[in-house]
Homo-oligomer: A and B are copies of this chain.
Amino acid sequence: MDELIADLQKLIRQPSVSAKNEGIEECASLVKKMLQKIGIKSELLRLKKGVAPIVFGEIKSKQNPCKTLLFYNHYDVQPAEPFDLWDDPPFSGKRKGNKIFGRGATDDKGELITRIKAVEASLKTTGDVPCNIKFLIEGEEETGSAHIEQYLKKFKKKFSCDGVIWEFGYVDAKNRPIVGLGMKGLLFVELSVKESIRDAHSSLAVVVKNPAWRLIQAVNTLRNDDGKILIKDWYKEVTPLSKKDLQLIKNEPFDEKSFQKEFGITSFVGNKKGIEAKKALVAGATCNIAGFVSGYTGEGAKTVLPGEALVKIDFRLVPKMDPQKQVMRLKKHLKSKGFSDIKIKVFHGEAAARTNSSEPFVQNVKEAADKSYGKSILNVSNAGTGPMFPFVEILKAPCISIGSTYMFSRIHSPNEFARVDLLKKTTKCICLIMENFGKS
Instruction: Tell me whether A206 is interfacial, beta carbon within 8 Å.
Output: yes
Instruction: Tell me whether A384 is interfacial, beta carbon within 8 Å.
Output: yes
Distance in Å from the Cβ of A387 to the closest Cβ of chain B? 14
Which listed residue (B188, B198, B206) contacts A263, Cβ 8 A? B198
Which listed residue (B207, B293, B303, B310) contacts A272, Cβ 8 A? B207
Instruction: Tell me whether A97 is interfacial, beta carbon within 8 Å.
Output: no
- For the complex, give the distance between the alpha carbons of A246 and B309 in Å: 36
Instruction: Tell me the nearest residue of chain B to A297, going by C-beta.
Output: B293
**Given A212-B292, A304-B413, A314-B303, are A284 and B347 neighbors across the interface (CB < 8 Å)?**
no
How would residues 410 to 440 of chain A score, 1 for a CB under 8 Å from any chain B CB and 0 otherwise?
1111100000000000000000000000000
A233-273 at interface with B (beta carbon < 8 Å): 259, 263-265, 267-269, 272
Instruction: Tell me whether A200 is interfacial, beta carbon within 8 Å.
Output: yes
**Chain B residues closer than 8 Å to A225, beta-carbon distance:** 213, 217
**Residues A297 and B299 in contact, CB atoms below 8 Å apart:** no
**Chain B residues closer than 8 Å to A398, beta-carbon distance:** none
Which listed residue (B20, B268, B300) contacts A299, Cβ 8 A? B20
**Residues A301 and B312 in contact, CB atoms below 8 Å apart:** yes
Instruction: Tell me whether A220 is interfacial, beta carbon within 8 Å.
Output: yes
Which listed residue (B19, B200, B306) contacts A298, Cβ 8 A? B19
Which listed residue (B209, B216, B269, B298) contacts A81, Cβ 8 A? B298
Which listed residue (B287, B303, B347) contacts A412, Cβ 8 A? B303
**Residues B269 and A207 in contact, CB atoms below 8 Å apart:** yes
Which listed residue (B198, B259, B265, B290) contacts A304, Cβ 8 A? B290
- For the complex, give the distance between the alpha carbons of A382 and B208 in Å: 16
Instruction: Tell me the nearest residue of chain B to A277, going by C-beta.
Output: B207
**Residues B284 and A206 in contact, CB atoms below 8 Å apart:** yes
A297-326 at interface with B (beta carbon < 8 Å): 297-307, 309-310, 312, 314, 316
**Residues A290 and B314 in contact, CB atoms below 8 Å apart:** no
Which listed residue (B259, B280, B305) contacts A290, Cβ 8 A? B305
Instruction: Tell me whether A186 is interfacial, beta carbon within 8 Å.
Output: yes
Other A-B pairs, 10, CB within 8 Å; known A85-B198, A303-B412: A78-B304, A81-B298, A143-B300, A188-B303, A200-B263, A209-B265, A209-B269, A210-B288, A212-B292, A213-B223
CB pairs A–B below 8 angstroms (13 shown):
A19-B299, A20-B299, A78-B302, A202-B316, A203-B286, A204-B281, A205-B227, A207-B277, A213-B289, A291-B297, A292-B309, A300-B347, A301-B314
